[in-house]
Amino acid sequence: MTRRWWWLGGLLLLILVLGIWPLQGRVIITTGHEEWAWPRFLLSPPTPEPRHPLFVRVTDEHPWSYVLLTANGRPLSLQGQKKNPDHTWTWSWTVPPEAVRLPLELAFYRDCDTGCRERGRAVLGERPTPSPSRPEIPLTKLCLAFARPDREWYGRQGWVVDLTYARAAADPYWGIDALAWRVFQYRRHNLRVLVRLDFARGQSLPPAGDTVALSEYLDYARRLARDARLKGVYAYIIGSGFNAADANRLAPSSPVTPEWYARVLNGYGEPPEHTDNIIHLMRSEDPRVRVLVGPVRPWTWDQGGTRAWRTDVPWLNYMNTLVALVDEAARRGSQHGIPLAGPDGFALHVPGRPEAAIAAGYDPAQEPRLDLPNPNWNGAQQGFRLYREWLDIINSYPTTRGRPVYITSSNTYAPDLRVPPAQNYPPGWLTTAYEVIRKEPQIHSLCWFLDHIPGDRQWRWFDLTEHPGKLIYAAEEWDRLLHGGESP
């Protein structure tokens, strides 16, 4: 008899050690060894029926605040909570009919005001088991900003750039819950997700010298790093285009200077023991978090920098000053025993300029291959080959030399010419740009800006999904590159 029931003791031991409780075809997973019986999930009906609502109640022994339930990553609206006579607490949700699909994972989170911590999970139905002999999903450098979650990637592991605002944490689209839901969908397609963190709409980073705004920004960054739903984010991009006037609209008299950017990123100008900077706070929450320097906008004369680059134009001077100061802060941190005080890489804005190729007598589709120095800009590049100037600056400093680079915004829109891709896109341009970038080992992504933002007509003439005008050619190239192109 003892031999016959030997497996029962092993099962109980597994339950106690791993916190896994099988119950009526469901698996309940909790986060603590000593609290393996909590939380408890009650479903009505007990077996979900597709296209019918599912009512879920979660009971726990702790009166958690700011709780959240997700169904296959989708956040649900809390419908009620109550204290029970046995001093436990129960919360209730409804999974809408369209979200009731097997397998169904219900994840229960607590303390979501400061970054959701997972408390328990119920899994209904069997998850597909990946074959151990399945080859690794091919990685491509192709990337989209604001990719449609249902976009076809033809079995490739690509890149996607998304965005959130510190001052819009509860926004139905730009807030943290909506971001987490999109990240879940991106990861379901095996995409590598880069999330850009801005301060507010029209204000890329906190205004220079505003330490209250800085604290607000840092609090949100820490919340992102802490949130269990965002563990699949590949890297965070800190701001974008902050050297331009239209990225400093909340405080135009206090624009983000290179000095202030480096202060925000890794504490430039502050005592090394001060921890109020992005890199320290995000990595203190999760040492695996990657932090990227955000892209400087090219071809804008709004700001320069105090350390002139060998090609003396404002955008390159700004970039050179910024990288020098970030490098200085990183080296100083290392000298005081603070490891990993520098960034994990750089995001770049690299637009093309087919008009310059035409003016020089070349095929505009070949513009990404061409050196197009502008004599009125002291010989600075006026087209896609700008990326080489960015790389030269990054590789000129010891702590940033060789760091990974991600082109997170590219198309045929030059900020100073203001002709949208729907008007000026030359067939073949994206293919040429991709062929160029595939040969650059330091550059990991080439991201078309943008794919699609639901309901946002501001970017219609850039939209790869709707592909108005000449964008039909770019959309066709995108599919061909993914479907039939070689992986880098």
pLDDT(19) > 70 = no
pTM of the model: 0.91
Distance CA 60, CA 250 (A): 44
Q: Determine the pLDDT at residue 203.
A: 98
Q: Determine the pLDDT at residue 405.
A: 98
pLDDT(361) > 80 = yes
Q: Name the β-bridge partners of 198.
A: 165
Q: What is the pLDDT of residues 214-267, one digit of tens each?
A: 999 999 999 999 999 999 999 999 999 999 999 999 999 999 999 999 999 999
In this prediction, residues 336-349 reach a mean pLDDT of: 88
pLDDT band at 135 (very low <50, low <70, confident <90, very high): low
pLDDT band at 431 (very low <50, low <70, confident <90, very high): very high
> Which pair of tokens denotes residue 341?
């005080």
Q: Determine the pLDDT at residue 1.
A: 40
Strands in 80-83's sheet, in edge-to-edge order, are 40-44, 54-60, 89-95, 80-83
Distance CA 160, CA 148 (A): 10
- Residue whose C-alpha is closest to residue 182's, from 169, 200, 195: 195
**Residue 236 exposure: Cα atoms within 13 Å on the Cβ side:** 27
**Alpha-carbon dihedral of residues 37, 38, 44, 47, nearest 10 degrees?**
-50
Q: What Å distances lie between residue 176 and 68, 122, 193, 202, 398, CA to CA?
A: 12, 23, 15, 18, 35
Residue 193: alpha-carbon gap to chain centroid: 5
Q: Determine the pLDDT at residue 26.
A: 47
**Residue 173 exposure: Cα atoms within 13 Å on the Cβ side:** 8
Percent residues over pLDDT 70 in the chain: 90
Average pLDDT over the chain, rounded to an integer = 90
Q: Name the β-bridge partners of 165.
A: 198
pLDDT(33) > 60 = no
Q: Determine the pLDDT at residue 12.
A: 37
**Alpha-carbon dihedral of residues 454, 456, 462, 463, nearest 10 degrees?**
20
Q: What is the pLDDT of residues 57-78, one digit of tens each?
A: 999 999 999 999 999 999 999 9
pLDDT band at 127 (very low <50, low <70, confident <90, very high): low
> Which pair of tokens denotes residue 50?
């597709």
Rg of the chain taking only CA atoms, in angstroms: 25
Q: What is the pLDDT of residues 296-320, one digit of tens each?
A: 999 999 999 999 999 999 999 999 9
- Please, are residues 342 and 330 in contact by the beta-carbon 8 Å criterion? yes
Tell me how crowded residue 13 is: count the other CB atoms within 10 A of its CB: 10
pLDDT(35) > 70 = no
pLDDT(205) > 50 = yes
In this prediction, residues 376-399 reach a mean pLDDT of: 98
Q: Determine the pLDDT at residue 23.
A: 38
Distance CA 197, CA 220 (A): 9
In this prediction, residues 278-305 reach a mean pLDDT of: 97
Q: Determine the pLDDT at residue 36.
A: 52
Q: Determine the pLDDT at residue 7.
A: 40
pLDDT(32) > 60 = no
Q: Determine the pLDDT at residue 336.
A: 79
pLDDT(428) > 60 = yes
Cis-peptide into 39, omega within 30 deg: yes
> Domains of the chain (ranges plus CATH)?
15-124 (2.60.40), 139-484 (3.20.20)
Q: Determine the pLDDT at residue 4.
A: 43
Distance CA 174, CA 161 (A): 13
| Beta strand pairing call for 40-44 and 26-30 | unpaired
Q: What is the pLDDT of residues 440-467, one digit of tens each?
A: 999 999 999 999 999 888 999 999 999 9
Q: Determine the pLDDT at residue 484.
A: 73
In this prediction, residues 108-128 reach a mean pLDDT of: 90
Q: Determine the pLDDT at residue 130.
A: 46
In this prediction, residues 349-358 reach a mean pLDDT of: 98
Q: Determine the pLDDT at residue 334.
A: 83
Distance CA 271, CA 181 (A): 38
Distance CA 93, CA 109 (A): 13
